[in-house]
A and B are shown apart, each in its own frame.
Chain A
Amino acid sequence: MRPLSLDEYKRYGRQMIQSEWGLPGQLKLKRATVAVVGAGGLGCPVLQYLAGAGVGTIRIVDHDEVDVSNLHRQVLHTTDRVGRNKAESAAMAIEALNPHVKAVSIPKAVHNNNAIELLSGIDILIDCTDRPETRYLLSDTAVRLDIPLVSGAAIASSGQWAVYGGVMNGKRRACYRCMWPAVIGDGGGRCSDVGVWGPVTGMVGCGMAGEAIKEILGHGDGYMHMMRLGTPLRSIKLRSQRPTCSCAGGEAPEIRVGECSTKTTTAVERVSPKELHAIQDSVTIVDTRPPTEFGICALESSHNVPLADILAHPDEMTRRYPGQIVFVCRQGNDSLLAAEKVQEAGGTVKDLRGGLVAWSRDVDPEFPVY
C-alpha cells in the first residue's frame, strides 16, 4: 500500500522532489504534530505554510476573537468571521487549504495551570503570541516537554525568530530564557499601541514556518534571525545552553516586565468625554499622540504636542498655554502622564479619561477609532 494518497503525491510534488525532502521527509511531516499558540499576525502565515506543506496534525490555541483591526496582517481570517474565535477561524481556513491536515482548534488561553495539558504529545511548539509572560511560559513548557520551541516576534517594521531548546548535534541549544534572561523595557511595545506592518509579521511567520519544517525534516540549525524592513537580514549563531539557566537546573529568574507603565505621582483631575464636551470652548486641548496618529483624526481646535516633547520640557507647556489645559490621547494613558508632569511644573491641567476612544463612544460616534 502506498504511504500517501494519489492527491498527496501531486499536492506535495513540488517540495518532495527536492533532495533534502523526498518521500521520507513528506512522511515525517505527515506524522508530525505541532501546536501553534496564537492565530494572529505570526500564527496565520505559520499555519498557512505548515498546512500547505502537509504537517499531519496542527493544534491551534487562541482564546481571542477576530477583530476587523486584525485583518491587515492576520490573513487567514476573513471579514465575515469577525467576532469568531481565532483558533476556529484559522482551523476553517487551513482545512479549506488542505483537507489532509487534521486541524484541532483549542479556543483557550494558555496559562500556568493548563499549558502542559494542552501541549503535551506534540513534536514542536510554535510561539506566535504577543506577551512576554506567555513567551516565557511557553519556553518553560517546551523545556518540560523536552521539545524544540520556534519563537518569533514582530513589531512596527522589525522582527526576530529562532528555534530554541531541544538537542542539535548532541548539544542542547539555548532556550528562550538562556538567550533572553530578562525583559528590557516593554520589549518594543504592542502592535495595538505601536503599529505593525502586515508584511513584517508575514515575513517573520514564514521564517518560523520554515524553521519548523526544517526541524521536522531533521535539518534544523542554530541561527537566530533579526530583520528590519529595508535592511539586510541579520543571522547569528545561537549560543548553547547557559549552565546557570533554569533549563539546565538553575533557578528560574524573576521576569520583570513593563518598567514604563504609568505611575500616578500626583492626582490629576480627570474629565469624562461629556464633561470635556461641555467645556471644550473655554479650554486648550493638547493631544499628546505622535503627529502621525494626530494626522489620522483629531478633535477640532486641539493642539498636537507629542508626549516625548512634553516630558522633555513640561514647564514650556505652562508658558505656551497659561490657562486650563486638557490633555487627550488615544486611550488616556499617555495624556495622564503628560498631565501629571505639567501639573508638577505648575500648570493647570485636566486629563480626558478613556481618551479619544471614549470620546467616540460617548460624544461623537462619527469620530474614527483606529
Chain B
Amino acid sequence: MEAGTSNGLGYTDPASSTAAMPSSVKGKERGEIEIKIEFGGGLHLLFSQQARHVVHVPAHVPDSSPSKPVDMRYLVKYLKSDLLSERIEMFGEGDGVRPGILVLINDADWELEGELDYELKDGDEVVFISTLHGG
C-alpha cells in the first residue's frame, strides 16, 4: 500500500494516484488483449489506491468451447480476483458490480452496450465510477 496517500477512510489525493499510473504490467502476450481501466469517485481505494490500470486478459475465455470472445463478465470476475485489493463486497454483487457503480465502456453507459455480455476489444477503456458528495 502506498504510504501517505490516504487517511484510510476517505479519499486518496487523485494527483498522487494519477502520478502512479499506469500500473506496471508485463508486455502483452500472444492471444491477449489490452484493456484500460479507470476507477473514479473513490473506488480506486479498493484497487491499491490507484485510479488507472492497464490489464491484459486473454482474447478468448479460457477453456470455453466453442471458443468465446472475452466479455465484461470475464473482466469483472478478473478484476475481483486479480486486481481488487480489499473489500470485495464494496465492488461486486453476483456476476456484476454493486448498484450505485456506473460502468462506462469507451465513454458510453454499459447499459447501452449489453452490460456483462459486451465483448471486449483490444484497447477498450472501461471506467467504474461512484457518486461523489462533497461540495
Contacts and interface: CB of A to CB of B under 8 A. Distances in A.
Interface residues of B, number: 41
Interface in A124-151: 128-132, 135
A226 interface: yes
Most interface-central of B111, B131, B132 (chain A CB within 10 A): B132
A239 B103 CA distance: 12
A199 B104 CA distance: 26
A291 B4 contact: yes
Given A156-B11, A157-B14, A229-B15, A183 B109 contact: no
A290 interface: yes
Contacts of B102: 179-180
Nearest to A183: B100
B80 to A, nearest CB: 15
Interface string B92-135: 00000011111010011101100000000000000101111111
Which of A156, A181, A190, A237 gathers the greatest number of chain B CB atoms within 10 Å? A156
Contact of B132 (A38, A155, A235): A155
Given A183-B131, A236-B104, A236-B107, A189 B42 contact: yes
A211 interface: no
A286 to B, nearest CB: 14
For chain A, the bracket of interface size reads 35 or more
B15 to A, nearest CB: 6
Given A159-B132, A188-B130, 12 more contacts: A41-B134, A130-B135, A158-B132, A160-B132, A183-B130, A183-B131, A186-B9, A186-B133, A194-B134, A228-B18, A237-B108, A308-B1
Interface of A: 38, 40-43, 128-132, 135, 152-160, 179-191, 193-196, 201, 226, 228-231, 234-239, 259-260, 288-292, 306-309, 311-312, 333-334, 337
Interface of B: 1, 3-15, 18, 40-43, 45, 51, 90, 98-102, 104, 107-109, 111-112, 127, 129-135
